Structure 1
């Protein structure tokens, strides 16, 4: 493993953190992920007052704790040349517009032709070695914004925003039925989501599941269908699709939680925007993805038919 010899992240321990273990300090104060903590201690790249220490080493106020910043030497996935629609990029992050029919990253028996593989190919063509670090996922047939971090410390800071619900993700969905605001005038669905026994990839509303909160507002009603804008307070698997089905307004074309549609070959769900605090500058960044052609065509057909 190559080391960036000039990159040490240093902290002076405040008195209130005295008597913590080095492991707890990295976790609670320096916000180092579990995976990276293990890597740092194993490779003896955690230092207290200039000396390498083990994870249980006690620290005290005034100590200087430093960790080695590693330069990436692997993409983490097989680089492949493919479609990469860049919505935003700088030295810290990149946001891509994912097309329908593509996984965000390898999973199960699929280890190629994913968004992560194509992003690795994009970096490779630019002569950059950057490990692929997606901050969140989208279902295979959901389109739109996916955020990636270019360094582990940026990933850690962005993951903290996800956990604190300060990273905002926006969606557009064409759903079945109308009148949803009459039943949910506050535009909020608060229903726990859990796994369906015996069906690993399917979810359902379950009082014993994980808390899930979906906010929405009505954009337009088109005959028997409705265009909604939604934003997530939590990020459960299939959250929007499960919640919409539960309230009687499944996403149009959703083969798992609704019914297939002649108007569109997939669920009409699009991650239209993402808003986050930049991991370096601290400034708010907002990135938007235009509605894909198949959803636009679907809306045009609905409007034309129900004039």
Structure 2
């Protein structure tokens, strides 16, 4: 369904151009703004079509008319843990063993297929997109934007939690470039000439030969956390692709437990937490003390 987004120009933005307001206040990317201004009626100021160079005054009402949405993913019925939702965003808690996107091996059992069913049941067809990706076997919070403006203007901060094998103490930063391992289409490794990758970590607790870590990323390389800790000879528990043992866990112990969403029209940043997976709590009861929720 089509929808219009309306914004009142605050005093501090008087005298700025429409493009300035959209790019800097709303946070639209250059590409998203160009697409928006070329839509029929895509930019309206006080009900009248306007140009990107037009100057705004305090109290002007700028309206962005969004295009008609169309379903992209095939609906598939299944459980969906909805954490929060408004007109522009949906936050869900993804279980492990579920890919975010459909693929040749998972054409209908992805998170986005279930989101499509969720909206079909509600009689809606928003053009939703995840703001970031989690690996198939990584659990935790996923934020989806429900229109082009929401996706382009959002800023997301994520806090991950992991259980690695062995004992680590203190905190640190791993700066090691990552690339494909020679001869593999899936596995990554730390290598010269790879893509820059930076992981910040803090040890929360150690017990039973494992360490619970809190992590944040400066970069978002494929398998980044898994590769970085495998390079330190502390692979994640359950991550057999990178040397971890599956004796206690069925998949890698990596969880997106805290998310912060900042978007200029929202005002204050929004925060959500997700508890550690049940499998963690059963195999390592001591981690529950540190669970985000």
Does the TM-score normalized on the shorter chain lie above 0.5?
yes
Partner residue in 2 for 1:263 = 248
Query: Per-residue deviation at 1:75?
Result: 2.8
Query: Per-residue deviation at 1:109?
Result: 4.6
Q: Is the 8 A contact 2:32 2:149 kept in 1?
A: no
Partner residue in 2 for 1:274 = 259
Equivalent residue of 2:149, what SS?
A: helix
Alpha-carbon distance in 2 for matches of 1:16, 1:71: 26
Partner residue in 1 for 2:192 = 207
Query: Per-residue deviation at 1:46?
Result: 5.6
> What is the 5 A alignment of 1:54-93?
59=53, 69-93=65-89
Q: Please give the per-residue CA displacement for 1:60-112, whole angstroms capped at 9, x wherever unaligned.
A: 767x9x88522442232111211101122222211111111110112345321
Return the TM-score normalized by structure 1.
Answer: 0.76
From 101, 104, 110, the counterpart of 2:97? 101
What runs of 5+ residues in structure 1 fail to find an aligned partner?
162-166
Return the TM-score normalized by structure 2.
Answer: 0.80
Q: Is the 8 A contact 1:223 1:302 kept in 2?
A: no
- The answer to whether the aligner puts 1:172 opposite 2:161 as a matched pair is yes
Alpha-carbon distance in 1 for matches of 2:280, 2:80: 20
Query: Per-residue deviation at 1:136?
Result: 0.7
Query: Per-residue deviation at 1:255?
Result: 1.6
**Taking structure 1 as reference, are residues 45 and 109 closer, same or farther at Cα in structure 2, changes over 3 Å only?**
farther
Q: Please give the per-residue CA displacement for 1:184-231, whole angstroms capped at 9, x wherever unaligned.
A: x54221212222244232221123222222112112211321111212
Alpha-carbon distance in 2 for matches of 1:95, 1:291: 17
Partner residue in 1 for 2:209 = 224
Of stretches 242-251 and 99-108 in structure 1, the one that deviates more from structure 2 is 99-108
Partner residue in 2 for 1:246 = 231
Q: Is the 8 A contact 1:212 1:239 kept in 2?
A: yes
From 123, 130, 139, the counterpart of 1:127? 123
Alpha-carbon distance in 1 for matches of 2:178, 2:255: 21
**Taking structure 1 as reference, are residues 135 and 293 closer, same or farther at Cα in structure 2, changes over 3 Å only?**
same
What runs of 5+ residues in structure 2 fail to find an aligned partner?
289-293
Q: Please give the per-residue CA displacement for 1:121-143, whole angstroms capped at 9, x wherever unaligned.
A: 11121222211210011111111
**Taking structure 1 as reference, are residues 51 and 197 closer, same or farther at Cα in structure 2, changes over 3 Å only?**
farther
From 106, 111, 123, the counterpart of 2:107? 111
From 133, 153, 166, the counterpart of 1:137? 133
Q: Cα RMSD (Å) of the superposition?
A: 3.4
